[in-house]
């Protein structure tokens, strides 16, 4: 059997073409503050099946957020350059092109481009507080009758008109982007 056929067969075994990313509520099991969730100016959550129930949340974070296609990286760098020009904290081009990766993480470390606010075996919460809005990104492993899942949730709390305007512009891209990245990682067999 040729090497290309073996690779193709391995891909089919690893990935699940019938699996999908579904919209869901922010899980009650999340450590995200319920008051922040309920009062959020924007929130969303997406669930996808895990092929490895023992997957580490840090590895799941990297699986989804460390494999952006170059065109997404370029869009992020343009957005972040504009945000820095307006005086807001935003990742640099170097941080986008070469996301940090460590052997282990603790609360306060930076994962990818965001500080970690909470870290346990079941959930990683990272995010950023800015003058215009605060956001949190949760990567949560969960179990249900169908097996193990990963749920990626985002909540944003705007502080002013600029934060609300920013959300109005970015939310459609965010919704599509997170689902796209999760599907991409499922196809690649990293989730």
Whether 12 maps to a domain, the answer reads no
CA–CA gap between residue 90 and residue 173 (Å, rounded): 17
In a domain, 110, yes or no: yes
* Positions of the chain with pLDDT under 70: 1-19, 146
Q: What is the pTM of this model?
A: 0.82
- For position 18, what pLDDT does the model report? 47
The pLDDT, as a whole number, for residue 12 is: 32
Is 79 among the domain residues?
Answer: yes
Asked, for residue 9, whether it belongs to a domain, the answer is: no
Report yes or no on 109 lying in a domain: yes
pLDDT for 15:
41
- Beta-bridge partner residues of 152: 46, 139
Q: What is the pLDDT of residue 8?
A: 32
Q: What pLDDT does residue 17 have? A: 45
Residue 6 lies in a domain: no
Position 24 scores a pLDDT of 95
Q: Is residue 4 part of a domain?
A: no
Give how many domains the chain has, as a whole number: 1
**Residue 3 lies inside a defined structural domain of this protein:** no
| Residue ranges making up the domain that contains 57 | 17-188
Residue 19: the pLDDT is 62
CATH code of the domain containing 111: 3.30.530
């Amino acid at each position: 059997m040729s090497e290309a056929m073996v690779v193709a067969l391995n891909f089919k075994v690893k990935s699940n073409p019938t699996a999908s990313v579904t919209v869901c509520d922010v899980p009650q099991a999340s450590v995200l503050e319920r008051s922040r969730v309920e009062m959020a100016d924007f929130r969303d959550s997406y669930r996808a099946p895990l092929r490895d129930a023992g997957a580490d949340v840090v590895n799941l974070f990297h699986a989804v957020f460390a494999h952006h296609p170059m065109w997404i990286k370029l869009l992020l760098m343009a957005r972040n350059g504009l945000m820095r020009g307006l005086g807001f904290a935003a990742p640099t081009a170097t941080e986008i092109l070469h996301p940090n990766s460590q052997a282990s993480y603790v609360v306060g470390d930076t994962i990818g481009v965001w500080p970690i606010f909470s870290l346990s075996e079941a959930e990683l919460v990272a995010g950023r507080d800015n003058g215009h809005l605060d956001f949190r990104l949760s990567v949560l492993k969960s179990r249900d009758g169908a097996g193990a899942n990963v749920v990626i949730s985002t909540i944003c709390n705007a502080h002013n008109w600029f934060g609300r305007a920013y959300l109005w512009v970015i939310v459609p891209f965010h919704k599509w982007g997170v689902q796209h990245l999760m599907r991409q990682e499922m196809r690649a067999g990293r989730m």
